[in-house]
Amino acid sequence: MPTDVVVPTLGESITEATVGEWLKQPGDSVEADEIIASLETDKVAVEVPAPTAGVLGEILAQEGDDVEVGAVLARIEAGGEGAAKTAAPKADKAEAAEDEDGSAEAEDSADEAAGGDDSASDALSPAVKKLLAEHDLDPSSIKGTGKGGRLLKEDVKRAVSGGAAKKSAGGAGETKTKIEDTAPAGAVDSRPLTKAAAGAGRNEERKRMTRLRQTIAKRLKEAQNTAAMLTTFNDVDMSAVMKARDQYKDMFEKKHGVRLGFMSFFTKACALALKDVPAVNASIEGDEIVYRDYADIGIAVSSPGGLVVPILKDADKLSFADTEKAIGDFGRRARDGELKLEELQGGTFTISNGGVFGSLLSTPILNPPQSGVLGMHRIEERPVVVDGEIVIRPMMYLALSYDHRIVDGREAVTFLVRVKEAIEDPTRLVLDL
């Protein structure tokens, strides 16, 4: 009797996803817990394992289809006999077509026949594919150490660091994969569409928005439509933080095993300021204002699918070392697509560092239902007046966007001043002043 492959539980408040990619095709042999498909949710990619060993039978949800939690994606037939039965007709079909005219149809059929081959590169997880694409690597040049020779993320990292991996032969001129125009409205597929010829040297490329990008767009527009958003600015002298970092970074890394960066200073400064100005840490729910005595700070990080904001729970209680470790871990797992859904939910305040991309000044958009977001920018040496003299100091512009429905201008300015004071005199962070 066939076993159903169903959409797993995706996390609190997430009821549906989009089929991103099938890593196995009907007739392919699968092992229990082997990843056979990936789903895209509003926040992260989710891998779908095979519930049992056998042969993949009918696929009920195609790539790009929207599916609800509990829906049947495919069925797995018991035993391995089905694989041989399915592969044989495919091979015969390929052979016949090749004898007939050697056309592209024959090549396609032959490719299908090869699909039953249980090689190391037969099923790559989304995380592995992202790493391969990021470094433009040929998966066949890397030895897989997973079950059945499956290629793991650690194998790719090891090959990259050891210089053993080979570049993909496709290169920039590789033909784009075509996605059928008959896909349902709102369907998501991360693969690019074929480039449309629009005259010599004038090409266009269309890509469907991923579910994550759709969610980002929806939430940002929701923030503009709902909140009375306003931004206040200040600048901060980074001299003291840079001096402290230069003085203690080696000792810090030796003791804690992590580098001392600027984000931990700003995270601690914001946590301190949120205590002094609780309205920035609050949110509106109906006709009530919810105030909080804790600080769950979201740290905006880049991922291949777009900007994600993992939450640093109880940031006000974490040490500098714990803060740096958590932020570094968020960044790594965001790039590899390994963040968990629960890590992206909640949050009372957000920090976005556009300075890493070279931004000088910006007005960040709120992350609903939060009432405040701090924008950091690049450090730039500028002339400033100190004690009546013009001196050169490393300066950074800070921007606080806030919901004016709940945060008054005085409170917003006070919050930003508290952050400025803590950064220009880091001793305040230690003494809780």
Residues 236-273: pLDDT tens digits? Answer: 999 999 999 999 989 999 999 999 989 999 999 999 99
pLDDT for 112 equals: 38
Position 86 pLDDT exceeds 90: no
CA dihedral 231, 235, 240, 246 (to 10 degrees): 80
Look-up of token digits 């914001």? 270
Question: How far is the C-alpha of 178 from the C-alpha of 204, rounded, in Å?
Answer: 14
Question: How far is the C-alpha of 427 from the C-alpha of 420, rounded, in Å?
Answer: 13
Report, in angstroms and rounded to the nearest whole number, the Rg of the chain calculated over CA atoms.
26
246: annotated active-site residue: no
Look-up of token digits 């519930």? 51
Preceding peptide of 369 cis, ω within 30°:
yes
The CATH class of the 213-431 domain is alpha beta
H/E stretch holding 168 reads: none
**Range from 62-76, 91-105, 402-416 carrying the lowest mean pLDDT:** 91-105
Tokens standing for 172? 């920039």
CA dihedral 135, 137, 143, 148 (to 10 degrees): 100
404: annotated active-site residue: yes
For range 188-217, the mean pLDDT: 66
The CATH architecture one would assign to domain 119-169 is Irregular (4.10)
Question: How far is the C-alpha of 15 from the C-alpha of 20, rounded, in Å?
Answer: 16
Q: How many CB atoms lie within 10 A of CB 344?
A: 20
H/E stretch holding 84 reads: helix 81-101
Find out whether 307 and 300 touch, Cβ atoms under 8 Å.
yes
For 227-317, where are the alpha helices, taking DSSP H only? Answer: 239-256, 263-276
Among residues 118, 408, 425, 432, the one annotated as catalytic is 408
Residue 47 has phi, psi (to 5 degrees) of -90, 140
Residues 109-134: pLDDT tens digits? Answer: 334 333 334 444 446 766 677 778 77
φ/ψ region of 279 (left if φ > 0, alpha if ψ in -120 to 50, else beta) reads alpha
pLDDT for 177 equals: 34
User: Confidence band (pLDDT; 50, 70, 90) for 187?
Assistant: very low
Find out whether 209 and 226 touch, Cβ atoms under 8 Å.
no
Tokens standing for 347? 């949050």
Tokens standing for 7? 């959409």
Question: How far is the C-alpha of 193 from the C-alpha of 175, rounded, in Å?
Answer: 10
Tokens standing for 61? 């949800």
Find out whether 274 and 366 touch, Cβ atoms under 8 Å.
no
**Range from 131-140, 171-180, 345-354, 381-390 carrying the lowest mean pLDDT:** 171-180
Residues pairing with 29 in the sheet: 55
Look-up of token digits 């803590």? 422
For range 4-10, the mean pLDDT: 81
Residues 344-379: pLDDT tens digits? Answer: 888 999 999 988 888 999 999 998 889 999 999 999
Among residues 296, 316, 404, 432, the one annotated as catalytic is 404
**Range from 75-79, 150-154, 256-260, 284-288 carrying the lowest mean pLDDT:** 150-154
Position 206 pLDDT exceeds 70: yes
**Range from 197-201, 214-218, 241-245 carrying the lowest mean pLDDT:** 197-201
Question: How far is the C-alpha of 279 from the C-alpha of 292, rounded, in Å?
Answer: 9
Domain boundaries in the chain? 119-169, 213-431
Cβ neighbours for 322, distance < 8 A, ≥ 6 positions apart: none
Tokens standing for 101? 């005219």
The DSSP secondary structure of 316-342, one letter per residue, reads: GG--HHHHHHHHHHHHHHHHTT---GG
**Proportion of the chain above pLDDT 70, given as a percent:** 77
pLDDT for 399 equals: 96
